[in-house]
Every structure is written in C-alpha cells, then in structure tokens.
Amino acid sequence: MDTKLAIRPATPDDLRAITDIYNQAILNTTSTFDTNPKTLKQQKAWFSRHDPAHPVLVALESDRVVGWASLSPWSERRAYAGTAEISMYIREGHRGQGIGRELTLAILKAGRKAGLHMVISCITEGNAASLHLGKELGFRRIGVIKEAGSKFGRLLDVYLNQIFLDPPAD
C-alpha cells in the first residue's frame, strides 16, 4: 500500500461510504447474495444492530473509507452468543492491496477482545481471493452448501469456514 492505512471503529458518519462500498458489491460481484442496493435508511438499521461484541470497523486511506468489516450474530438463539459471522468489503479500485487482510486481522482481534469464541465466514464460489485470505489467516473449511443461491443467472455454492478465537473447549 502506498499510503498509510488506518483502521478504526465505524461511526454513523461512515454509513454513506459503507453503503456505497456494499452496493458496489451487490451490483457487480457474487460476494453477497443481496441483489438490490441498500438504502442509507436500511444500513442505519443494520448498523444499529451491532454492539461491542459485534463491531463494525472501517479502513481509511487519506481519510477516505476504502473498506469495512463487521462481525454479526450468527443466530439470535442465545446458545450461539459466542459465534459471529464476518463480512468484509473493499472499495472497487482498492482490492488486492492488503486492505482486506488488515481489516480481517483487526476485526478478529476485536472479536477476541469482545470474548467471542468462533467466527464463521460464508464465501461464495468464485471468490478465490477471499478463500485464499481466509486460509492464510487460519480459517478452516467446514462444509459446502451446494447451489445455495442464484446470482447473475448462475447457481452458486457457498463455502463455510470457521476460526476459533480462543482454544475450543474439550
């Protein structure tokens, strides 16, 4: 990366940039199975569901948000309280520069600090860079949901991966 990257907790002021980045992914990639762009109002509601155990972080270059990552509850059922799902999106034109790696490391550190036990990633087939990054950082594949969703006229598999943030209980 040519410029210094800063990572910090997201604020409501970051929501327009977060929404723009996510909408780029919705419209142009299979990284998400959302098919309709999100409104700022929808993203405000999404943001309000995050808490200290489920943070949203942003990556900035020259004070411009170029990516974001979040941990969201895996399920509303109380027994899953220690498990979160990771999401991470990088602004078009900034991918492949190590921003995703730094954001992922930072969000996993935040999850560990919040006392989470495990993080799950769901990566759609064809997203080789995300699968490679996850493997490098210690995520292990635990399954595949065949033909889980359809986007751009194609049925796509979803790879389930997990990483433990603390040693698993015996």
The domain limits of the chain are 5-164
Q: Is the pLDDT at 2 greater than 60, yes or no?
A: no
The whole-number pLDDT of residue 92 equals 94
Integer Cα distance of 1 and 37 in angstroms: 29
5-164: CATH topology: Aminopeptidase (3.40.630)
The whole-number pLDDT of residue 1 equals 44
Spell out the residues 6+ positions from residue 14 whose beta carbon is closer than 8 angstroms to its own. 58, 65, 68
pTM of the model: 0.93
Percent over 70 (pLDDT), the chain: 96
Q: Round the average pLDDT of the chain to a whole number and report it.
A: 94
